[in-house]
């Protein structure tokens, strides 16, 4: 590959006045597709027998019969008191002298301390115990088992530990009445077992989240974690608090399937505290009310002498959560959104929500749903600016906006994708103009509460989608540079999504694929327990773990490229700099950090003039690169594209470094 030359000049004597907010490196969780299935540590599905008997008559969802009895009967019956979903009835006939119960295919990891097994059960009086076990489906090897004595004919909660002697991707969980039971008379009141909740949780889980997900997220140093997305506009928060098995099973009106009742407010706050990040909660303004949103604020922030504060304390949290940041509205401008309306209607609704929420806690910061289209923002600001602290944007970038598709030469598609910061910068420029048009808007800041690359058409993405490539990481890194350049205005960012999900979370669990419009299905590789980061994960980790304070000017002299749009209305992007550069100094003034994204398709030998910051020493260069910009990480090669650190001696105030094509760099110099 040919090599070009470039130069970068830094001026550290002219320090910007605005501190870079660490919240711009935030992340985002949403109950969408397989996000919760991948993020949470439960290996079982349909734990409350909530699904119907589509596959096997009388058996809920993912459950299968486990019996050698010719007469065993299964039926879905009403749930226990205060429970939702169904109860699962298993009827065993004595003449069969059979074992009978339910089973489900799972993947489990070695756990000497044992998975926590919880169940809610009742049985006819002659059934004294059940057995729970995990078995290797290929070899028949029993990986672990436990006996649960049933002490009541009425519904009762039971718990036990189920040790697992080795990791197994092809395991089967079984819970059943064994053949060894004494037999009983064969009439209507005997041989019946009812189940109304079964869950397994590994001993190393953090709350209910996979330990591996927590540890990878911890390394992201996210700053802020957002709970939001389309599903929130039909989400009623009180349905996901209190005892988990008493929470209702609720349809996910935005994305189909069941909303996860396990990851509610308390669990989200626990997740944020484990990671030491600031929570951001988006409230339901679609099917919800201002009163409901205000009660949510009180549940999180109210003292124990308030109604919702007492409710929180009853759930084991006497101290207020202290949630400071609240978002009103998620893509309300979109017709796919529950509660979609005009800008004028949303402005009226927004003010009602803001007033109700501020009445509960005047110290909270409010984010209003904005748009890249100024005809939405202007009436919203006109009516509601005094009631908001931030306007939000969602920025998704794809080559479809240039009229390109999969048949377009991939080099042209690449150039289109890495033009991401130009589009972001134009949206920010337009909003600056609007904000400066009225002194009433002078206090407002921007929150980019969703962003990512978007590779259309992607209605069915099998395997690992393009969102996971090095190309996507280069585009997202350049976009982060634009956030930093505009850090006087942009204070919050939320990468979409954290784990699996829709476009492709930066953390991957297994190799799932999701049909964008028709629910979710797990892709199978035999390595569904593998947890790893994508190239964009590596970018987010590289950026968020730096010692940043303020932006300083930089000047770049390098080659350029252009994007050949097929859409006349799209901007014609000419003479775009191959190197996208932004420089920062820390608050102490003794560390210089330069983010460099080589968007070009040539290696570039680059001379960096430090402008008197340091004359000699050793610089540190973090590098994210691969030979092919379509390179990915996968379950087969989870570390194919990872960042590496290099030491570069320098003298006479200049650092020379070779920047490989389509790669991301962070140059750090200390003095």
Residues 487 and 541 in one domain: yes
More confident residue, 443 or 458: 443
Residues 496 and 528 in one domain: yes
What per-residue confidence (pLDDT) applies to 572? 76
Q: What would the pLDDT profile of 607-664 be if each residue is shown by its tens digit?
A: 999 999 999 999 999 999 999 999 999 888 999 999 999 999 999 999 999 999 999 9
In this structure, are 438 and 565 located in the same domain?
no
Closest CA to 48 of 241, 202, 198: 198
- Per DSSP, 606 falls in state E
pTM for the whole thing? 0.96
| Residue 146 included in any domain | yes
CATH code at position 604: 2.60.40.1180
Range of the structural domain that residue 616 is part of: 4-16+550-670
Chain centroid offset of residue 354 CA: 26
Q: Is-contact 551 20, C-beta < 8 A? A: yes
Q: Which residue has the higher pLDDT, 524 or 424?
A: 424
Which of 155, 182, 201 delimits the end of a domain?
201
Same domain, 531 and 648: no
C-alpha of 367 from chain center: 20
By mean pLDDT, which of 344-348, 517-521, 565-569 is the weakest? Answer: 517-521
Give the model's pLDDT for residue 525.
64
Mean pLDDT of the region 83-105: 94
Structural tokens at position 195: 């189940």
Q: Which two tokens stand for residue 57?
A: 């008559």
User: Looking at the structure, do residues 422 and 366 belong to the same domain, yes or no?
Assistant: yes
The pLDDT of residue 519 is: 47
pLDDT the model gives residue 461: 47
Residues 59 and 102 sit within 8 Å (Cβ to Cβ): yes
Q: How far apart are CA 332 and CA 367, in angstroms?
A: 13
Q: Which two tokens stand for residue 367?
A: 């984010």
The verdict on residue 389 lying in a domain is yes
Please check the confidence at residue 543 and state whether its pLDDT lies above 80. yes
Q: Which residue has the tokens 């460099």?
A: 596
Do residue 458 and residue 323 come from a single domain? yes
SS3 of 575, please?
A: strand
Is 630 a member of any domain?
A: yes
Min mean pLDDT across 137-151, 166-180, 452-466 is at 452-466
3-state secondary structure 80-102: CCCCCCEEEEEECCHHHCCCEEE
DSSP state of 182: P
What does the alpha-carbon distance between residue 250 and residue 614 come to, in Å, rounded to a whole number?
60
Mean pLDDT of all residues in the chain? 94
The pLDDT tens digits of the residues spanning 142-172 come to 999 999 999 999 999 999 999 999 999 999 9
Q: Comparing C-alpha atoms, which of 482, 463, 519 is closest to residue 634?
A: 463
Chain centre distance of CA 579: 30
Please tell me the distance from the alpha carbon of residue 96 to that of residue 107, in angstroms, as a whole number. 31
Q: Are residues 35 and 88 in the same domain?
A: no
Beta-carbon contacts of residue 439 (< 8 Å; ≥ 6 apart) = none
Q: Give yes or no: residues 535 and 622 share one domain.
A: no
Q: Are residues 122 and 165 in the same domain?
A: yes
- Structure confidence at residue 186 (pLDDT): 77
Find the distance separating the first CA and the last CA of the chain, reported in whole Å.
35
Let me know: does 85 contact 120? Beta carbons within 8 Å.
Answer: no
CB-based contacts of 129, cutoff 8 Å, min separation 6: 147, 148, 149, 150, 181
Strands 390-397 and 365-368: parallel
Q: Answer yes or no: do 356 and 410 share one domain.
A: yes
3-class SS of residue 314: helix
| CA-wise closest residue to 280 among 309, 260, 263, 300 | 300
Which of 528, 545, 562 terminates a domain? The answer is 545
Q: In whole angstroms, what is the distance from residue 426 CA to residue 420 CA?
A: 10
Mean pLDDT of 416-426: 96
pLDDT tens column, 463-510: 445 788 999 999 999 999 999 999 999 999 999 999 988 767 899 998
User: What CATH number should be reported for the domain holding residue 429?
Assistant: 3.20.20.80
Coil, strand or helix at 278: strand
- The answer to whether position 55 is within a domain reads no
DSSP 139-166: T--EEEEEEEE---SS-EEEEEEEEESS
Token pair, residue 558, equals 């390098």
The answer to the question of residue 49 being in a domain is no
Is there a domain that residue 53 lies in? no
pLDDT confidence of residue 465: 58
Q: Tell me the CATH number at 196.
A: 2.60.120.260
Looking at the structure, tell me whether residues 438 and 300 fall in a common domain.
yes
Judged against a pLDDT cut of 60, whether residue 202 lies above it is answered with: yes
Please say if the pLDDT value at position 513 is more than 70. no
pLDDT tens digits, residue range 246-285?
999 999 998 888 999 999 999 999 999 999 999 999 999 9
Residue 517 pLDDT more than 70? no
pLDDT value of position 528: 86
Contact indicator for 445, 388 with CB cutoff of 8 Å: no
**pLDDT value at position 515?**
43
Same domain, 375 and 298: yes
Whether the per-residue pLDDT at 187 is higher than 90: the answer is: no
- Concatenating the DSSP letter of every residue in 506-550 gives SEEES--B-BSSS--B----S-TT-EEE-HHHHHHHHHHTS---E
Q: Of 545, 564, 580, which closes a domain? A: 545
pLDDT at 518: 44
377: which residues sit within 8 A by CB, 6+ positions away? Answer: 343, 370, 371, 391, 431, 434
And the tokens for 403? Answer: 């009229």
Mean pLDDT over 174-197 rounds to 92
For position 243, what pLDDT does the model report? 93
Residue 151: partners with Cβ closer than 8 Å, 6 or more residues away: none
Q: Model confidence over 360-409: pLDDT tens digits?
A: 999 999 999 999 999 999 999 999 999 999 999 999 999 989 999 888 99
Within a domain: residue 59?
no
Count structural domains, the chain. Answer: 3
What is the distance between the alpha carbons of residues 66 and 48, in angstroms, rounded to a whole number?
18
pLDDT of residue 514: 44
pLDDT digits (tens, 9 = 90+) for 11-31: 999 999 999 999 999 999 999
Q: Where are the alpha helices (DSSP H) in 29-137?
A: 35-39
Is 44 strand, coil or helix? coil
Largest CA distance in the chain: 95
Q: What is the pLDDT of residues 304-330, one digit of tens each?
A: 999 999 999 999 999 999 999 999 999
Rounded CA separation 280/214 (Å):
18
User: Which residue in 72, 73, 75 sits closest to 96, CA to CA?
Assistant: 72
Q: Is residue 51 part of a domain?
A: no
pLDDT band at 516 (very low <50, low <70, confident <90, very high): very low
């Amino acid at each position: 590959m040919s090599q070009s030359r470039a130069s970068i000049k830094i001026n550290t004597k002219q320090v910007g006045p605005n501190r870079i907010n660490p919240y711009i490196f935030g992340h985002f969780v949403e109950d969408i597709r397989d996000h919760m299935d991948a993020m949470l540590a439960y290996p079982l599905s349909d734990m409350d027998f909530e699904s119907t008997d589509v596959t096997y008559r009388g058996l809920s969802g993912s459950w299968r019969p486990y019996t050698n009895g010719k007469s065993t009967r299964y039926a879905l019956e009403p749930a226990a008191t205060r429970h939702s979903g169904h109860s699962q009835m298993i009827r065993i006939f004595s003449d069969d002298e059979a074992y009978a119960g339910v089973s489900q295919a799972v993947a489990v990891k070695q756990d000497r301390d044992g998975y926590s097994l919880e169940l809610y059960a009742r049985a006819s009086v002659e059934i004294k115990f059940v057995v729970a076990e995990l078995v290797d489906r290929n070899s028949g090897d029993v990986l672990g088992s436990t006996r649960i004595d049933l002490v009541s004919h009425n519904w009762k909660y039971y718990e036990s530990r189920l040790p697992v002697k080795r990791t197994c991707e092809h395991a089967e969980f079984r819970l059943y009445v064994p053949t060894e039971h004494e037999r009983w008379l064969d009439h209507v009141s005997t041989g019946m077992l009812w189940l109304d909740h079964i869950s397994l949780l590994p001993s190393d889980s953090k709350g209910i989240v996979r330990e591996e997900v927590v540890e990878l997220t911890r390394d992201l140093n996210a700053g802020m974690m957002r709970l939001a997305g389309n599903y929130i506009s039909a989400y009623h928060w009180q349905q996901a608090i209190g005892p988990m098995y008493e929470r209702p099973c609720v349809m996910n009106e935005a994305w189909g399937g069941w909303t996860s009742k396990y990851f509610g407010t308390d669990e989200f706050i626990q997740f944020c505290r484990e990671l030491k990040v600031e929570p951001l909660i988006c409230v339901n303004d679609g099917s919800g009310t201002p009163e409901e949103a205000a009660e949510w604020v009180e549940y999180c922030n109210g003292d124990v002498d308030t109604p919702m504060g007492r409710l929180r304390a009853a759930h084991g949290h006497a101290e207020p959560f202290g949630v400071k940041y609240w978002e009103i509205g998620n893509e309300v401008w979109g017709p796919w959104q529950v509660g979609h309306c005009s800008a004028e209607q949303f402005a009226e609704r927004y003010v009602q929500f803001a007033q109700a929420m501020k009445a509960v806690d005047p110290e909270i910061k409010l984010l209003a749903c904005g748009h890249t289209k100024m005809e939405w923002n202007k009436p919203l600001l006109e009516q509601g600016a005094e009631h908001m602290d931030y306007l939000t944007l969602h920025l998704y970038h794809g080559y479809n906006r240039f009229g390109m598709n999969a048949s377009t030469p991939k080099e042209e598609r690449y150039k289109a994708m890495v033009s991401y910061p130009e589009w972001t910068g134009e949206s920010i420029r337009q909003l600056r103009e609007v904000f400066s048009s009225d002194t009433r808007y002078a206090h407002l800041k921007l929150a980019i509460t969703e962003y990512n690359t978007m590779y259309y058409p992607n209605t069915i993405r099998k395997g690992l989608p393009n969102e996971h490539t090095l190309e996507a990481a280069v585009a997202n890194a350049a976009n982060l540079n634009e956030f930093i350049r505009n850090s006087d205005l942009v204070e919050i960012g939320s990468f979409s999504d954290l784990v699996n999900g829709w476009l492709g979370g930066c953390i991957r669990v297994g190799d799932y694929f999701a049909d964008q419009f028709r629910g979710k299905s797990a892709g199978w590789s035999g390595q569904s327990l593998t947890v790893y980061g994508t190239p964009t994960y590596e970018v987010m980790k590289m950026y968020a773990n730096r010692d940043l304070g303020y932006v300083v000017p930089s000047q770049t002299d390098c080659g350029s490229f252009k994007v050949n749009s097929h859409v006349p209305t799209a901007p014609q992007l000419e003479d775009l700099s191959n190197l996208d550069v932004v420089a920062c100094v820390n608050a102490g003034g003794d560390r210089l950090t330069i983010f460099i994204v080589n968007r070009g398709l040539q290696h570039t030998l680059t001379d960096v003039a430090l402008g008197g910051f340091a004359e000699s020493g050793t610089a540190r260069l973090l590098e994210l690169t691969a030979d092919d910009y379509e390179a990915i990480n996968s379950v087969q090669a989870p570390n194919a594209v990872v960042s590496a650190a290099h030491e570069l001696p320098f003298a006479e105030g200049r650092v020379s470094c070779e920047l490989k094509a389509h790669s991301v760099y962070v140059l750090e110099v200390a003095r």
